[in-house]
Amino acid sequence: MGNRTIPSIRIRQLTRRFGTKTVIHEVSLEVGQNEIFGLLGPSGSGKTTLVKMMAGIDEGTEGEVELLGTRLPKLSMMERIGYMAQSDALYGELSAQENLEFFAALFGLMGPRRKERMRYVMELVGLAGDMKQKVSAYSGGMKRRLSLAIALLHEPEVLILDEPTVGIDPVLRKSIWNELEALSGQGKTIIVTTHVMDEADKCHRLGMIRDGRLIAVGTPDSLKQETGSATIEEAFLYYGGARR
């Protein structure tokens, strides 16, 4: 369970506007070391915008994000973060191996460790036999799996995954979740966005997000108990409706 005495991520009064449209409204949140924290919300609720700011890829209009004690955005922090975007940032004309080598170099991975990490992450996502294939020939699900492999490559302290298991079959999804549990056991901080209810149940804590507002935060069990709900979905509907 998350050790929340030392927050890995601290967000204070974070707001993001695009022109006159406010996409994130004054979000404050702390995520502890070795915690799997889920952001649950429908498409367009602001999850992706929020995690981009957590990863230091985007900057808030107001408020602040602190990661591992450092104010973001800061370029030197990129090596300590594994970020998997919703749209795959891959080079289609290169093979999977060449993509991995490019990102490994970017993260400063060298020699035998580079080789070992590349093999490990590709086995984890079930693509070890497709290393030499051009990414342009990959299916959508294979591209998602390669993106996840790249995010895990340099063993980051903080892993930020935007809808990591979309289009991934149930067997592989289970092995990916087992790996996330193992990483959290090693002290890593993991943020996962999802709209899949059974995945939300696997998180140590959840933040429910709707219309750019954090409407509830707690363990899946406590959120269900507080609302007298049998499922996370019912709890979400309660917070998103009755409590608005």
Dump pLDDT digits (tens) for 23-57.
999 999 999 999 999 999 988 999 999 999 999 99
Residue count of the chain: 244
pLDDT confidence of residue 165: 85
pLDDT-derived band at 242, boundaries 50, 70, 90: low
CA atoms lying within 13 Å on the CB side of residue 193: 24
Q: How far is CA 23 from the centre of its chain?
A: 19
Calculate Rg over the CA atoms of the chain. Answer: 18
Tokens of residue 9, six digits: 């991520």
Domains of the chain: 3-242 (3.40.50.300)
Average pLDDT over residues 70-96: 90
The pLDDT confidence band at residue 198, using thresholds 50, 70 and 90, is: confident
Average pLDDT over residues 70-83: 90
Confidence band, pLDDT 50/70/90 cuts, at residue 78: confident
* Higher-scoring residue by pLDDT: 150, 169: 150
Q: What is the mean pLDDT of residues 214-226?
A: 96
Task: Identify the band that residue 79 occupies on the pLDDT scale cut at 50, 70 and 90.
Answer: confident
Residue 5 pLDDT class (50, 70, 90 cuts): low
In this structure, which amino acid lies at residue 239? Y
CB within 8 Å of 185: residues ≥ 6 apart = 34
Segment 14-20 shows an average pLDDT of 97
Between helix 111-124 and helix 140-152 the angle, nearest 10°, is 140
Distance CA 148, CA 240 (A): 30
Averaged pLDDT score across all residues of the chain: 92
Residue 39 has which token pair? 């952001």
pLDDT at 182 over 80: yes
Phi-psi region of 182 (alpha: psi -120 to 50; beta: other; left: phi over 0): alpha
Distant-in-sequence, close-in-space partners of 180: CB < 8 Å, separation ≥ 6: 36, 159, 190, 192
